[in-house]
Amino acid sequence: MVMLRYAVYRFFTMLLTLLVVSVLIFVIINLPPGDYLSNQIAELQASGQSAGVAKAEFLRTEYSLDRSLPEQYLIWMGFWPGPHGFEGLLQGNYGWSFEFDRPVSEIVGDTLWLTVVVNLAAILFVYAVALPLGVIAAARSRTWIDYTSAFVGYLGLATPNFLLALILFYYGHRYFNLPIGGLMDPVYEGQPMSWDKLKSILLHLIVPTFVIGTSGASAMMQRLRANMLDELGKPYVETAVAKGMAPSRMLTKYPLRVAFNPFVADIGNLLPSMVSGSVLVSVVLGLQTIGPTLLTALKTQDQFLSAFILMFVALLTLIGTMISDILLVMLDPRIRYEGREA
Amino acid sequence: MTALLSVRDLSIGFGAGESVVQKVSFDVEAGQTLALVGESGSGKTISCRAALRILPRTAQIRSGTITLNDSKGTAELTTINERQMRGIRGNRISMIFQEPMRSLSPLHKIGNQVSEVLWLHRGASEADARKEVLTQFERVGFPDPKRAYDSYPFELSGGMRQRAMIAMAMVSKPELLIADEPTTALDVTTQAQVLGLIKELQRETGMALILVTHDLGVVANMAEQVVVMHKGRIMEAGAAAPILTEPAHPYTKQLFDAAPAIPDQDAVGLPMPDEDLILEMVDVSKTYTMRSSKGWKADKLIHACRGVELKLARGKTLAIVGESGSGKTTAARIALGAELPDPGGQVLFRSSPDTDPITVHKMSKGERTAFQRKAQMVFQDPYSSLSPRMRIQDAMTEPLEIHKLGSVSEQRDKAAEMLKRVGLNTDMLKRYPHAFSGGQRQRLSIARAMMLDPAMIVCDEPTSALDVSVQEQILTLLEHLQDSLNLSYLFISHDLAVVARIADEVAVMRQGLVVEQAPPETLFYNPRHPYTKALIAAQPEPDINRPINLKLVALGAGSPDSWEDAFRFSDSVIPSLTEMEPGHKVRCHV
């Protein structure tokens, strides 16, 4: 009951935050002088192509770029009628990409869920690697296990991701016959989902997951190790030992439970850093994620495209923090019962 | 007949260093209580932990044997493998630790943590374990065992948590219980009740007990056999009665001399003089509001202090005594201007007899600076009140720098002078705090407080983290400084024996109210209030013929509703503080 109420409350605060974020995104995108179309018009006028100018002018009114900023924002969000009535994000209309001369939804289409898939895989990888290694490193601190895992971890942190990507591609292809580049075999692109397509995607995911996840995993492992070491010195651990518990069960039941909190709280932070951090990797690996598209959109001031992508990343982040907050409340009675009368 | 646990020639050391426990031998007979007594660093804790092999990772048992010989057979605890050891821990030998606040996992329900013992050692099902644990909870005195079972540790008070720990240790019916300072972190009345409980359970089950403690009063109340340890060696061992009445070893005698005791002879103390008051608190109340989590319920008001009136004369010591939550620390914070009293309360401070008083409850910025020079504080925990990253010299001259007093060389001279005053060497100025023992650190804290030549020092439990012999030295130092510099102390403590020694007047607080106030001689010889009586009764005396009177403790330490009509108070009806005889005020209906 408490949980449900909290989840609902948390969901509404998330919506509110998203609204604020949308304003920020819109303002920041419009901070540099000019927009895609006015730049284009200036360019066309300079070269004397008046036909193009007319088209650009048409697009300006079509997408309300001639109106005031607040109005533009409201129309973009779908709070205010544009030239064709309510047609904004809320109505599922993501706008027009001037750079690609296509609707935004068409451009991002597939890449949206591929981004989610790649990053989810990376996060799962981070947790799957960091959790056992961190615990073992703490339990056997100052032994060769600890030192080896720390060494490998720092190596992972220190190696540039794109370099790691190239190395892995080479050796992965040479010894395991892993595919190079892309997120699926080109045959399946644009095809409906099928068993073979899924298999191809999974196979293509191995290297990117590893590349994007390594640094996050090693950072998190070190953090978990430090947390665990703190907890291991606490008296309740002694109590558990004095009870006659076996070490493995004792470790997982008591100190890990406590050390787990920061671990969970990290989910929210992990998502955005992965999405933005994986841009370069995506370019190098030729992944059809949203990262490279965002880069182009930002460079050319393609405002609807970049705004939409930024909104999408913000949404991912907010969902991540919401999940971690709700998990924390589930895990930690001290947070759950805060303010409960004794 | 062989003893239940016999320790022979036990030596334990860390790394390559010298052994910290050297050739220790003792026996625990079935059903008996053995007290291991000593100060910090005596090796008492480590030698009893060796029985369960719960030692720091770098410690190793170098020689000796520990033999357990109970109804389930004989085991040599130093050589059996880890798996066999686990079968003994929590099953045949249980342990209770010092800090009930931190010895239970904060994220698991009490019931789960206690039942775990039965799951581990009896293979009990969840339902069976629950039934047994609930019975055990009832025996250790939980008013509502079912509720306690589903509570988290942070929902219980310290005393209740220690009861849960005891339940956890007892639920498997071990034949030996090791209690490592089980009551040190508790209030005196709670300590009395917990000790009483352990004793009662012991009588019921016939279990043996090793009690590790530094408090001779606790020993006198609990033990049949005593082992006195010092620096890893046994100084004296034997039956409790002869050791406690006629200690043979000089070290034991020294421990006895250092232990402060509540005086029991008839004397009439002089009331605190009414002139030349350095600090005066008039009708000081402090109410905190705890925001209700539910919007429709009213916020809860917590009365930390209610109408406190205190007067401290120049050169005297006023002690505030009470248990945790009594409001004594809040009163001290208000006296120092660290917190503002509720409107209407007044705090007046006169730095010298002929100046106008500073109104501490509404100081201007300039007044606050002037006030800070004259009123300083010594804190409870000398380990955390000095920055580990500052040299002693820097820590000591910092107050002078803040108030921009003197040149650098003058500041250093002053630091050296103060260090000498508190009995330390000036060559210690360049060191960092970690190079000092607890007692030395507390001397440093006092020296730091003295740097600004204050007229008043607030001492917040300055000796409660220290060993008795060190406590004795610190109290002597404080008295000496008071005599030579005409200092005034506001002394906060929960220890009546310490207060009896140092105070000129004592105010006993309970739930934010001063319930009784008198010079110590009067207060201790002729306590009127049930709560004061309970505090005095709960103080363990190192005298085997004066056991703790649990009845008196129970009468006074409970909620005010259980007191006699004359003393009872509620939120709305509070009796006034009435002067029963000159200088002796009691809160009661006349």
Cβ neighbours around B565 below 10 Å, total: 7
Give the pLDDT score at A341.
38
Question: How many C-beta atoms surround the C-beta of residue B443 within 10 A?
Answer: 24
Is the pLDDT at B541 greater than 80, yes or no? yes
Give the gap in angstroms from C-alpha A95 to the nearest C-alpha of chain B.
43
What pLDDT sits at residue A338?
A: 56
* Cβ pair A119, A271 in contact under 8 A: yes
Q: Does B155 touch chain A (CB under 8 A)?
A: yes
Neighboring chain B residues of A338 at a CB cutoff of 8 Å: 293
Q: Helices B408-421 and B438-450 sit at what angle, rounded to 10 degrees?
A: 130
Which residues in chain A are contacts of B97 at CB distance < 8 A?
A: 235, 238-239, 242
Instruction: Answer whether B29's CB lies under 8 Å from B13's CB.
Output: no
Nearest to A238 among B97, B116, B120 (CB): B97
For A178, the token pair is 């892993």
Is residue A4 scored above 70 in pLDDT? yes
- What are phi and psi for residue A46, nearest 5 degrees? -60, -35
| In the predicted structure, residue B279 carries a pLDDT above the cut 60 | yes
Please tell me which residue, A290 or B523, carries the higher pLDDT value: B523
CA distance A215 to chain B (A): 30
pLDDT tens figures, A207-243: 888 888 888 888 888 889 999 998 998 889 999 999 9
Q: Tell which CATH classification among 3.30.70.980, 3.40.50.970, 3.40.50.1700, 3.40.50.300 matches the domain B5-101+175-258.
A: 3.40.50.300
pLDDT score recorded for residue B349: 93
Out of A243, A331, A342, the one facing B90 most closely (by C-beta) is: A243
Q: Rounded CA gap, B18 and B9, in Å?
A: 15
Question: Which chain B residues touch A236 with a CB distance below 8 Å?
Answer: 102-106
In three-state secondary structure terms, B280 is strand
Query: Which own/partner pairs from A106-114 qualify as long-range (CB within 8 Å, at least 24 positions apart)?
Result: A107/A293, A107/A305, A108/A290, A108/A293, A108/A305, A108/A308, A108/A309, A108/A312, A110/A288, A111/A288, A111/A289, A111/A290, A111/A293, A112/A290, A112/A312, A114/A183, A114/A287, A114/A288, A114/A289
For B251-265, the pLDDT digits (tens) are: 999 888 888 777 776
* pLDDT number for residue A41: 81
pLDDT number for residue B238: 92
Least confident of A109-123, A139-153, B205-219: A109-123
Other CB atoms within 10 A of residue B101 CB: 18
pLDDT digits (tens, 9 = 90+) for B96-121: 988 888 899 988 999 999 999 999 99
CA closest to A234 among chain B residues: B102
Q: Which of B52, B113, B152 sits opposite A333 (nearest CB)?
A: B152
What distance in Å separates the CA atoms of residue B363 and residue B370, rounded to the nearest whole number? 10
Does the pLDDT at position B362 exceed 70? yes
Partner residue opposite A242 with nearest CB, options B54, B154, B291 = B54
Contact B393, B430 (CB under 8 A): yes
Nearest-Å Rg of the Cα atoms of chain A is 25
Angle at A185 between CA A183 and CA A187, to 5 degrees: 135
Tell me: pLDDT of A111 over 60: yes
Rounded CA-CA distance B311/B383 in Å is 31
- Cα dihedral angle (B168, B169, B173, B177), rounded to 10 degrees? -170
SS (HEC) of A52-87: HHHHHHHHHHHCCCCCCHHHHHHHHHCCCCECCECC
Cβ count within 10 A of residue B437: 14
Q: Between chain A and chain B, how many beta carbons pairs sit less than 8 Å apart? A: 81
Tell me: the pLDDT tens digits for B178-192?
A: 999 888 878 888 889
Q: Which of A265, A254, A258 is nearest to A327 (CA)?
A: A265
pLDDT digits (tens, 9 = 90+) for B53-70: 998 888 889 999 999 999
Check pLDDT > 60 for residue A81. Answer: yes
The CATH code for residues B277-587 is 3.40.50.300
Average pLDDT on A125-131 reads 90
Distance of CA B258 to the CA centre of its chain: 16
Chain A partners within 8 Å of B87 (Cβ)? 244
Residue pair A305/A19 in contact by the 8 Å Cβ criterion: no
Is 1.10.3720.10 the CATH number for A105-303?
A: yes
Query: What is the rounded (10 degree) CA torsion for B532, B537, B543, B545?
Result: 140
- Domains of chain B: which residue ranges? 5-101+175-258, 277-587
B562: left (phi over 0), alpha (psi -120 to 50) or beta: alpha
Cβ contact, residue pair A239, B108, below 8 Å? no
pLDDT of residue B295: 53
Q: Please determine, for residue A342, whether its predicted confidence score (pLDDT) is greater than 60.
A: no
Ramachandran angles phi, psi of B418, nearest 5°: -65, -35
Residue of A nearest to B88 (CA): A244
CB atoms within 10 A of CB A158: 9
pLDDT of residue B572: 74
Q: Which pLDDT score is estimated for B293?
A: 56
pLDDT value of position A218: 87
Residue B174 has pLDDT above 60, yes or no: yes
Whether the Cβ atoms of residue B137 and residue B145 lie closer than 8 Å to each other: yes
Supply the pTM of this predicted model: 0.81
Q: Is the pLDDT of residue B37 over 50?
A: yes
| Chain position carrying tokens 């995607």 | A201
- How is chain A split into domains, by residue range? 105-303
CA distance B282 to B284: 6
**Chain A contact for B119 (CB, 8 A cutoff):** no
Q: pLDDT class for A340, splitting at 50, 70, 90?
A: very low
Percent of chain B with pLDDT over 70: 97
Find residues 38-97 of chain B whose CB sits inside 8 Å of chain A. 52, 54, 86-91, 94-95, 97
pLDDT in the model for residue B165: 93
Rounded distance between C-alpha atoms, residue A251 and residue A278, angstroms: 34
| Stronger pLDDT, A83 or B299, i.e. the higher one | A83
The contact set of A with B (CB < 8 A) is 234-236, 238-246, 253-254, 257-258, 331-334, 337-342
Q: B1 or B147: which carries more pLDDT confidence?
A: B147
* Model pLDDT, residue B574: 83
Find the closest chain B residue to A337 by CA distance. Answer: B155
Euclidean distance between CA atoms B66 and B520, whole angstroms: 48
Asked if residues A270 and A130 have their Cβ atoms less than 8 Å apart, the reply is no
Report which secondary-structure segment, H or E, holds A139. Answer: helix A104-139
Angstroms from B107 CA to nearest CA on chain A:
6
Same fold, B5-101+175-258 and B277-587: yes
Dihedral sign of CA atoms B509, B510, B515, B520 in order: negative
A178-182, long-range: CB < 8 A, 24+ apart? A178/A203, A178/A206, A178/A207, A179/A203, A179/A204, A181/A285, A181/A286, A182/A285, A182/A286, A182/A287, A182/A288
Q: Is the dihedral of CA B236, B241, B244, B248 positive or negative?
A: negative
